[in-house]
């Protein structure tokens, strides 16, 4: 596909034809909009993950609740209003919906320039953006009540891409909550958009973005990122597939736009998008890997390998073009400042429902060995491990693993302590209590323990979600 595009481009160039889209009477040619942004996000975590954060990260969730009883309202996190003075969004030159550029060649997106001049485009290896790269709702964006409705073929439009997006708390706020995309989230897919004329050429216009973001969360507001979450990218492709955040707006009157974008919930429109936590590298094959695991789970206490969902991004809105006198979005009231306008709009948006009965993020164990609690207590020259199970089926018994950590927080000296199985208390039952004493410890060391269940066929699972630690005095 890329070779065919390259060959076509060379042929057009040799023929003396311009390969960039032509400038029509409406939209300007390619450029980069440098704009101000406001944002706020709300996350509802799954029950088990909220309890994990409460018990391990000192997060204010599920206080006084057991895992199965913790309601959505007790596991919700809302950021403060976030701001960035220079969000950069690249645009292509204008073309027609359904033309050669739109459907076969792809529109080249500017990544270096200003709102009127482009000094450099994304490379061919980044792929020009086709209409087919957008994650259309089933049947396309029709007249379904959502802000963006794909118009008839022939409408003037441009394609766009987020170059840089890192929206953070306002000056003076110590929190590290943030939403990042583009070059600020190098392991995420490209965030792409489309702007289409409402009357055939130029403004007024409507637009949407499909956003792949990293979400930095500072639970205790102490100035350090506790965890980084992300919405899922398509497997093996940084554009197609996955679960993008769909952010839409109508009534655009110019570039850069001065509007409030509204997160509409994407394809399902019933539940908010899932957020994920994990170690799997999400960058496009061949691209440099830049801190892809930074602050996601630095001690690897939760997951190894595949990403697991841990909650839902309920609402996300952001305003572009704020802060300029007399150029506020149409949604703002007379005499209302930017923050008040945005906050009012954010609070007025409908709350996407959260499924109260979904436990996640840990999938059901096929052997149905459910560790209810796992504790490590140091006393004298020993560490005593006590654990209980909520249910067991076909469980032959348990092994115990132990490790320490180096100065970088990495696990070292990983050993299996048990030479034989700690036998299960029955082949199938509704839970039991177990104990094990580790006498091979050294004073002054902190040890980390995890149980492993083993079935009668030798299959096993190490319960990383149940890691416990103890320091020997």
Of 206-220, 223-237, 392-406, minimum mean pLDDT range = 223-237
Q: What is the pLDDT of residues 91-138, one digit of tens each?
A: 999 999 999 999 999 999 999 999 999 999 998 777 899 888 886 654
d(CA 205, CA 26): 10
107 close to 92: Cβ distance less than 8 angstroms: yes
Specify the higher pLDDT residue, 206 or 139.
Answer: 206
Give residue 120's pLDDT: 96
Which residue stretches of 60-181 are H helix? Answer: 100
* Residue-wise burial string across 120-146, b where 16 or more C-beta atoms lie within 10 A, e elsewhere: ebbeeebbbbbbebbbebeeebeeeeb
In terms of Cβ atoms closer than 10 Å to its own Cβ (0-12, 13-18, 19+), residue 150 is buried
47 close to 360: Cβ distance less than 8 angstroms: yes
The full DSSP string for 404-461 is EE-TTS-EEEEEE--SS-EE-SSSEES--EEEEEE----TT-EEEEEEEEEETTS-EE
Give residue 353's pLDDT: 57
Give residue 327's pLDDT: 44
The residues, any chain, with a CB within 8 Å of residue 126's CB and separated by 6 or more, are: 109, 190
Q: Please provide the average confidence, as pLDDT, over all residues in the chain.
A: 76
Pair of tokens at residue 52: 């994990």
* pLDDT greater than 50 at residue 2: no
DSSP state of 4: H
Region 370-471: CATH code: 2.60.40.10
Residue given tokens 């005593």 in the structure block = 384
| CA 223 from centre of chain | 20
Percent of the chain with pLDDT over 70: 72
Contacts 24+ apart (CB under 8 A), 103-109: 103/130, 103/131, 103/132, 104/130, 105/5, 105/8, 105/9, 105/19, 106/5, 106/130, 106/133, 107/21, 107/158, 107/159, 108/19, 108/20, 108/30, 109/30, 109/159, 109/160, 109/161
124 close to 108: Cβ distance less than 8 angstroms: no
Q: What is the pLDDT of residues 126-140, one digit of tens each?
A: 789 988 888 665 444
Sign of CA dihedral 340, 344, 345, 351: positive
Q: Find, among 244, 314, 247, the residue nearest to 77 by Cα.
A: 314
Q: How confident is the model over 294-321, as a mean pLDDT? A: 58
Domain coordinates in residue numbering, the chain: 2-348, 370-471
d(CA 48, CA 62): 10
- Residue 93's SS3 state is coil
Q: What is the pLDDT of residues 29-64, one digit of tens each?
A: 999 998 888 888 888 888 878 888 888 888 889 888
32 close to 163: Cβ distance less than 8 angstroms: yes
* pLDDT greater than 60 at residue 365: no
Q: What is the pLDDT of residues 68-85, one digit of tens each?
A: 778 888 888 989 988 888
Give residue 148's pLDDT: 74
Q: Give the phi and the psi of residue 451 in degrees, each rounded to 5.
A: -85, 150
Q: How many CB atoms lie within 10 A of CB 294?
A: 12
Specify the higher pLDDT residue, 210 or 329.
Answer: 210
Q: What is the pLDDT of residues 138-180, one digit of tens each?
A: 444 444 445 577 778 899 999 999 999 999 998 788 999 999 9
Q: What is the pLDDT of residues 423-448, one digit of tens each?
A: 988 666 667 899 999 999 999 999 99
Size (the chain), residues: 473
268 close to 347: Cβ distance less than 8 angstroms: no
* pLDDT greater than 70 at residue 318: no
Q: How confident is the model over 386-406, as a mean pLDDT? A: 89
Give residue 435's pLDDT: 95
The full DSSP string for 127-145 is -PBPGGGS-PPTT-S-SSS
- Mind spelling out the 3-state secondary structure of 265-301? CCCCCCCCEEEEECCCCCCCCCCCCCCCCCCCCCCCC
d(CA 324, CA 312): 33
Q: Give the phi and the psi of residue 113 in degrees, each rounded to 5.
A: 160, -160
What pTM, to 2 d.p., does this model score? 0.66
Q: What is the pLDDT of residues 249-307, one digit of tens each?
A: 877 888 888 777 766 654 334 446 778 875 444 544 444 544 454 444 444 455 444 45
Q: Find, among 131, 289, 122, 261, the residue nearest to 196 by Cα.
A: 131
Give residue 410's pLDDT: 83
Specify the higher pLDDT residue, 358 or 253.
Answer: 253
Q: Find, among 170, 210, 219, the residue nearest to 43 by Cα.
A: 219
């Amino acid at each position: 596909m890329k070779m065919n595009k390259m060959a076509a481009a060379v042929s057009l160039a040799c023929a003396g034809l311009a390969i960039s889209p032509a400038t029509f009477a409406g939209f300007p040619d390619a450029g980069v909009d440098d704009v101000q942004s406001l944002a706020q996000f709300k996350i509802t975590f799954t029950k088990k993950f909220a309890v994990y954060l409460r018990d391990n990260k000192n997060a204010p969730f599920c206080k006084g609740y057991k895992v199965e009883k913790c309601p959505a309202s007790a596991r919700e996190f809302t950021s403060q209003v976030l701001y960035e003075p220079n969000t950069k969004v690249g645009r292509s030159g204008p073309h027609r919906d359904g033309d050669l550029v739109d459907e076969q060649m792809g529109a080249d997106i500017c990544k270096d320039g200003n709102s009127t001049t482009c000094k450099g485009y994304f490379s061919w290896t980044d792929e020009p953006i086709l209409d087919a790269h957008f994650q259309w709702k089933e049947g396309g964006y029709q007249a379904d009540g959502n802000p963006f409705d794909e118009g008839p073929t022939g409408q003037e439009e441009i394609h766009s891409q987020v170059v840089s997006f890192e929206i953070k708390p306002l000056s003076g706020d110590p929190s590290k909550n943030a939403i990042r995309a583009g070059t600020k989230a190098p392991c995420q897919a490209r965030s792409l958009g489309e702007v289409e004329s409402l009357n055939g050429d130029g403004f007024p216009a409507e637009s949407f973005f499909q956003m792949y973001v990293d979400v930095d969360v500072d639970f205790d507001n102490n100035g350090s990122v506790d965890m980084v979450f992300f919405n899922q990218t398509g497997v093996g492709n940084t554009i197609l597939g996955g679960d993008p955040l769909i952010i839409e707006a109508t009534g655009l009157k110019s570039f850069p736009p001065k509007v409030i974008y509204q997160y509409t919930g994407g394809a399902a429109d019933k539940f908010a998008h899932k957020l994920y936590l994990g170690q799997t590298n999400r960058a496009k094959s061949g691209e440099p890997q830049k801190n892809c695991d930074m602050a996601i789970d630095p001690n690897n206490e939760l997951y190894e390998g595949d990403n697991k969902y841990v909650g839902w991004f309920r609402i996300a809105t952001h305003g572009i073009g704020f802060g300029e006198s007399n150029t506020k979005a149409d949604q703002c009231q007379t005499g209302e400042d930017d923050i008040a306008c945005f906050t009012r709009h954010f609070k007025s948006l409908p709350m996407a429902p959260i499924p109260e009965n979904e436990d996640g993020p840990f999938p059901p164990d096929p052997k149905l060995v459910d560790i209810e609690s796992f504790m490590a207590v140091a006393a004298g020259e020993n560490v005593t491990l006590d654990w209980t199970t909520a249910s067991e089926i076909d469980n032959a018994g348990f092994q115990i693993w132990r490790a320490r950590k180096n100065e970088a927080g990495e696990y070292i000296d990983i050993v299996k302590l048990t030479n034989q199985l700690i036998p299960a208390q029955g082949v199938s039952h509704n839970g039991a209590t177990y104990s094990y004493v580790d006498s091979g410890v050294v004073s002054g060391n902190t040890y980390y323990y995890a149980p492993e269940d083993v079935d009668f066929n030798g299959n096993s699972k190490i319960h990383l979600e149940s890691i416990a630690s103890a320091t020997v005095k």
